[in-house]
Amino acid sequence: MNLDKEVAKIEMQKMVRGENSFVLYRCVTCYACEEYCKRGNHPFYLISDLQEKNSILPMPKPLITQWINTGIPTKKDIREFWGAVEPVISLCLFPEYINSIEGKLFEGFSIVVGRYFFCQLAYLHFGRPSIIRERLSSIIENIANHGFQEIVFFHDECYSTFTSYTQAYGIQVPFRSVHLFEYLYGRLRELEDEISPLNVKVAYQRPCSSRLAPEKEHFVDDIFNLIGVERVEREYDRENSLCCGGIIRGQQRYDLFVDVQRRNVVDMVNAEAEYCVFNCPMCFASLSEAVVKRDIKPIMMHELCRLALGEVIKS
Amino acid sequence: MDRVCERLARIVGENYVSNMKEELYIYSQDPGMMEPREPDYVVMPKTTVEVQKIVKLANEEKIPVIPVGGSLSLSGLVIPHKGGIVLDLKRMDKIIEVNERCRYVVIEAGVTTGRLKAYLEKHYPRLRFSIPDAPPSATVVGNIVIHGQGHLSQQYGFNSDMVTGLEVVLPTGEICKIGSCSVSPYWFSLAPLPDIAGLFLGWFGTTGIITKLGLRLYPRKKLRDIEVFIVEDPHLVPDVVYRVTHTEMAEDIFVNAQPYPPIFKDIIMMGICITGDSEEELEFKRRMIWNVLRTYIDSKEGGFMMTTPDVKRALLEMPITGTTRFADVMKGGGFEYCGPIIPVEKYPEAYKKLLELSSEYGVTYGNTCRVIGRGHCMMFAFGYPFNRADPDNMERTKKALHESNVASLDIGGVPWKPEVPAQKMIMARMDKNTLELMKRIKRFLDPNGIMNPGNWEG
């Protein structure tokens, strides 16, 4: 939305009063307003709550049904969990990355994965935050019952759930959440002597959920400095970064989706990026084909770090 | 070795005939529900002349002959219900000719879909055929004989509609060519001659043995992509299909519903495959399809699924191997489906019945449909995986399949590649004069009644 400040202010005030606003219908759920608000308020959480209160569907009903069914926590998934000991990393709902969690960065790590660990925060995109609150407490309890004191979260949406979101809604979390990038940076420091600078130019695709934990963003630059890559200067980066487009497509706003992806990728091309580095597997799924078509190599951050350690990436 | 076996050995050589128990066992069953029955002999000819000699022998000895391709019908169509000689055509595996400019191929009866696909990809990358979603060991001719469908059926109809010529060995042993190849060296078309190919299509080998096939090939575009439109309400499916087929932008349209995994629960997926030689062509087609479904998007009743590259890859496979994997979801190696051809407008009724039967008999289901022609009809699969080691599960599945056949006919559909009991159901409802005509044709062509007996017997 391209609103002037006065209109934005009026609409925000309406929503603060719990009233309806066109914003609730047009929001692309990019989470950016959570970061733009420097007063510790949670404008996007408010938007999502109001969408649900007013039965406003950001997406078609079948997509919402599909996602609600996908994230139902089931006991079956815990088989991956038995025998897991700290240090432990949660892969959320992304088992396809199990084989990439290896090498020096992840020596000794146990992996947990599956719907049993799914943080549920995605339902913010679907205007159904009550699902998050309905399921989250039992998931936290389940995880805590296994006695982990500290979990590294592969997906920063999980990290943000167990930090920002739970804090905003007063939900207690009895374990310490570690952001993947914070962990990677610390481990890379330990392995500093083994790093071979990559000497490549990269664009960083910032995910929506990183807006909920902006205090961790410096680790992106810290890691890049450590492994010898240049983060190219471009228009759509940092606070001004663009959505990968996945959710916008899910909202069936095809023209906007095409436009956002095009601007994003052209920006990377113009900045002469050789790699597009991802934090979020969903962003990777959404944008990787588009960057490949412009001869930019898509790669997840932990895999880039492994390259710097001279390891071979299988996938 | 008995007398018939010796005579068969003289035709094909000792290595290609058997009456050994362990080899007969293989031909006694398929993965479906029909009761197993062993043949008396299995023989593997290499040439049409050998097929001819075997058929003549069978007539002399009054022994049934069951022509077999990949044995993958799932409905027992090549189980030798009355024993006899199983004539396994797998050795007849020559790809005889590809006419690139006329876009057709001539193959022998044992050529598999996997082999033809690989051959064309290697030697004729601009050509393709309509690949069915069967394992690659299914034979092209076998698929044609059962009026199979494939990835080009939405554009060009049943795979049997793509036949350009046949060579058949009649039940009395004559070798006969059908189509342009009967008067010309070219196998380009059945027309303009009187169409007698239909005497051998859909008859399950009861009227003769197809030994060679001419088949249309089609342009193979450089790029393929898929959009998956999902709805919750089955009543929307016919109109979605109608709208998308109207654009004539899609290559293939399939409709899927299944309870597992949870991402598929409570929704109906319509896979719309598009192809193009450039990104621009693909994008044009994609936009046409998005635009035509805008009404449902705006009403929030339907939308395009968010698909990852992995999901797309799986859905764009030819054949889709996920179907095969789902077939063994119960473990125990059992899978059969009743797949009637129905009017697309009957989808909601069929879907409702499927859910009812699944619930009534406590069996899981998989529903895969393929649109045939521009919405002219669709194959609707009442698919039931089952566990062979669980007699109770088998019994319930058998009942569900029977009810599915009844329901298919009740809603105005016709069971596709029906097992023998379903054939009898069809014939019981068939126009009496049509049935009589079928009988006359069979008697005329196969006076000794040796060809795959048990099938299409009124």
CATH of the domain at A78: 3.40.50
B231 strand-pairing partners: B268, B302
pLDDT at A81: 67
ipTM of the complex: 0.93
Contact B300 A70 (CB under 8 A): no
Report the CATH number at residue B119.
3.30.465.10
Cα Rg of chain B (Å, integer) = 22
Q: Which residue does chain A place closest to B291, by CA atoms?
A: A254
Distance CA(B442)–CA(B457), nearest Å, equals 9
Distance CA(B440)–CA(A218), nearest Å, equals 84
Domain boundary among B71, B88, B105: B88
Provide the pLDDT confidence category of residue B40 given band limits of 50, 70 and 90. Answer: very high
Centre a 10 Å sphere on the Cβ of residue A48 and count the other Cβ atoms it contains.
25
Distance CA(A162)–CA(B122), nearest Å, equals 53
Give the Cα-Cα-Cα angle B390, B391, B392 (nearest 5 degrees): 95
CB-based burial label for A215 (10 Å; 0-12, 13-18, 19+): exposed
- Check whether A77 has a pLDDT greater than 60: no
Q: Both A43 and A11 in a single domain? A: yes
Q: Both B195 and B258 in a single domain? A: no
Q: Both A239 and A155 in a single domain? A: no
Between the alpha carbon of residue A1 and those of residues A25, A26, A28, A315, B282, the distances in Å are: 11, 7, 8, 37, 29
Distance CA(B305)–CA(B215), nearest Å, equals 35
Evaluate whether residue B199 is within a structural domain.
Answer: yes
Distance CA(B119)–CA(A102), nearest Å, equals 40
User: Which range of residues forms the domain containing residue B121?
Assistant: 95-219
Which position has the token pair 């299944």?
B258
Distance CA(B428)–CA(B93), nearest Å, equals 38
Evaluate whether residue B279 is within a structural domain.
Answer: yes
The mean pLDDT of A208-229, rounded to a whole number, is 97
Evaluate whether residue B426 is within a structural domain.
Answer: no
Mean pLDDT of all residues in chain A? Answer: 94
pLDDT at A315: 61
Q: What 3-state DSSP class applies to B367?
A: strand
Evaluate whether residue A313 is within a structural domain.
Answer: no
pLDDT at A28: 96
Q: Both A77 and A132 in a single domain? A: yes
Instruction: Report how many domains make up chain A.
Output: 3
Give the Cα-Cα-Cα angle B418, B172, B38 (nearest 5 degrees): 50
Residue A102 corresponds to which tokens in the numbers above?
């290896």
Q: What is the pLDDT of residues B211-254, one digit of tens each?
A: 999 999 999 999 999 999 999 999 999 999 999 999 999 999 99
Q: Both B230 and B246 in a single domain? A: yes
Give the Cα-Cα-Cα angle A280, A284, A290 (nearest 5 degrees): 150
Q: Both B353 and B242 in a single domain? A: yes
Q: What 3-state DSSP class applies to B369?
A: strand
CB-closest option in B231, B301, B309 to A288: B309
Contact B306 A249 (CB under 8 A): yes
B342 strand-pairing partners: B378
Q: Both A36 and A122 in a single domain? A: no
Which of B168, B178, B147 has its CA nearest to residue B55? B168
- Check whether B128 has a pLDDT greater than 60: yes
Evaluate whether residue B449 is within a structural domain.
Answer: no
pLDDT at B201: 98
Q: Both B245 and B323 in a single domain? A: yes
Domain boundary among A161, A184, A207: A184
Centre a 10 Å sphere on the Cβ of residue B320 and count the other Cβ atoms it contains.
19
- The residue type of B394 is M
Q: Both B300 and B400 in a single domain? A: yes
User: Which range of residues forms the domain containing residue A31?
Assistant: 5-54
Question: CB–CB of A110/A85 below 8 Å?
Answer: yes
Measured between beta carbons, the chain B residues lying within 8 angstroms of A70 are 262-263
pLDDT at A145: 80
Contact B297 A60 (CB under 8 A): yes
Between the alpha carbon of residue B138 and those of residues B29, B69, B71, B92, B160, the distances in Å are: 15, 7, 7, 14, 15
Centre a 10 Å sphere on the Cβ of residue B117 and count the other Cβ atoms it contains.
17
Evaluate whether residue B257 is within a structural domain.
Answer: yes
The mean pLDDT of B65-93, rounded to a whole number, is 95
- The residue type of B322 is G
Q: Both A70 and A171 in a single domain? A: yes
Residue A117 corresponds to which tokens in the numbers above?
């660990």
> How far does B304 lie from chain A, in Å, by closest CA?
7
Evaluate whether residue B430 is within a structural domain.
Answer: no
Evaluate whether residue B385 is within a structural domain.
Answer: yes
Taking any CB pair shorter than 8 Å as contact, residues of chain A touching chain B are: 57, 59-63, 65-66, 69-70, 72, 96, 246-247, 249-250, 252, 254, 285-286, 288-289, 293
Question: CB–CB of B337/B381 below 8 Å?
Answer: yes
Question: CB–CB of A200/A275 below 8 Å?
Answer: yes
Contact A59 B290 (CB under 8 A): no
Which position has the token pair 């995880």?
A143
Distance CA(A45)–CA(A29), nearest Å, equals 10
Evaluate whether residue B45 is within a structural domain.
Answer: yes
Mutation for testing the A interface, residue in B233, B299, B300, B311 having most A CBs under 10 Å: B300
Domain boundary among B58, B88, B118: B88
Evaluate whether residue A264 is within a structural domain.
Answer: yes
Q: Both B43 and B110 in a single domain? A: no
Q: Both A93 and A11 in a single domain? A: no
CB contact B287 to A (< 8 Å): yes
CB-closest option in A66, A96, A254 to B267: A66
Which of B97, B98, B85 has its CA nearest to residue B50? B85
Residue A239 corresponds to which tokens in the numbers above?
């606070």
Q: Both A10 and A38 in a single domain? A: yes
Q: Both A30 and A99 in a single domain? A: no
CB contact B284 to A (< 8 Å): no
Lowest mean pLDDT among A62-76, A93-107, A212-226, B427-441: A62-76
Question: CB–CB of A247/A124 below 8 Å?
Answer: no
Q: Both B227 and B214 in a single domain? A: no
Q: Both A303 and A225 in a single domain? A: yes
CB-closest option in B263, B287, B309 to A289: B309
Q: What is the pLDDT of residues A102-127, one digit of tens each?
A: 999 999 999 988 888 899 999 999 99
Q: What is the pLDDT of residues B251-297, one digit of tens each?
A: 999 999 998 888 899 999 999 999 999 999 999 999 999 999 999 99
Mean pLDDT of all residues in chain B? Answer: 96
What DSSP designation does B25 have? Answer: H
Distance CA(B288)–CA(B294), nearest Å, equals 10
Which of B267, B246, B247 has its CA nearest to residue B256? B267
Q: Which residue does chain B place closest to A281, by CA atoms?
A: B308
Residue percentage of chain B with pLDDT more than 70: 100
pLDDT at B310: 87
Evaluate whether residue A203 is within a structural domain.
Answer: yes
> How far does A253 lie from chain B, in Å, by closest CA?
10
Contact A250 B306 (CB under 8 A): yes
Q: Both B298 and B370 in a single domain? A: yes
Q: What is the pLDDT of residues A11-26, one digit of tens each?
A: 999 999 999 999 999 9
Evaluate whether residue A189 is within a structural domain.
Answer: no
Q: What 3-state DSSP class applies to B337?
A: strand
Report the CATH number at residue B242.
3.40.462.10
What DSSP designation does A294 have? Answer: T
Q: Both B9 and B132 in a single domain? A: no
What DSSP designation does B183 have? Answer: T
Distance CA(A258)–CA(A47), nearest Å, equals 25
Q: Both A150 and A66 in a single domain? A: yes
Provide the pLDDT confidence category of residue A84 given band limits of 50, 70 and 90. Answer: confident
pLDDT at A64: 97
pLDDT at B327: 78
B353-372 in b/e form (b: 16+ CB < 10 A) is bbeebbeebebbbbbbbbbb
Question: CB–CB of B99/B56 below 8 Å?
Answer: no
| Helix extents (H) in chain A | 5-16, 23-26, 32-36, 43-53, 61-70, 129-145, 156-160, 166-168, 180-190, 218-227, 246-250, 254-270, 281-292, 301-308
Which of B47, B185, B183, B168 has its CA nearest to residue B104? B185
Between the alpha carbon of residue A11 and those of residues A17, A60, B47, the distances in Å are: 10, 24, 80
Which position has the token pair 């680790």?
A219
Q: Both A14 and A32 in a single domain? A: yes
* A262/A143: higher pLDDT: A262
Report the CATH number at residue B77.
3.30.43.10
Contact B301 A60 (CB under 8 A): yes
Contact A63 B279 (CB under 8 A): no
Instruction: Report how many domains make up chain B.
Output: 3
- Cis preceding linkage at B319, omega within 30: yes
Q: Please, how many CA atoms are within 13 Å of residue B334, restricted to the half-sphere of its CB?
A: 23
Lowest mean pLDDT among B194-203, B302-311, B331-340, B377-386: B331-340
Centre a 10 Å sphere on the Cβ of residue B449 and count the other Cβ atoms it contains.
14
Evaluate whether residue A314 is within a structural domain.
Answer: no
CB-closest option in B230, B296, B309 to A285: B309
Distance CA(A37)–CA(B343), nearest Å, equals 56
Q: Both B318 and B258 in a single domain? A: yes
Domain boundary among B163, B197, B219: B219
- Check whether B336 has a pLDDT greater than 90: no
Centre a 10 Å sphere on the Cβ of residue A309 and count the other Cβ atoms it contains.
16
Q: Both B84 and B114 in a single domain? A: no
Q: Both A134 and A245 in a single domain? A: no
Q: Both B328 and B390 in a single domain? A: yes
Q: Within the 190-249 window of chain B, which residues sit less than 8 Å (CB to CB) from chain A?
A: 230-232
Q: Phi, psi (5° rounding) for residue B169?
A: -100, 120
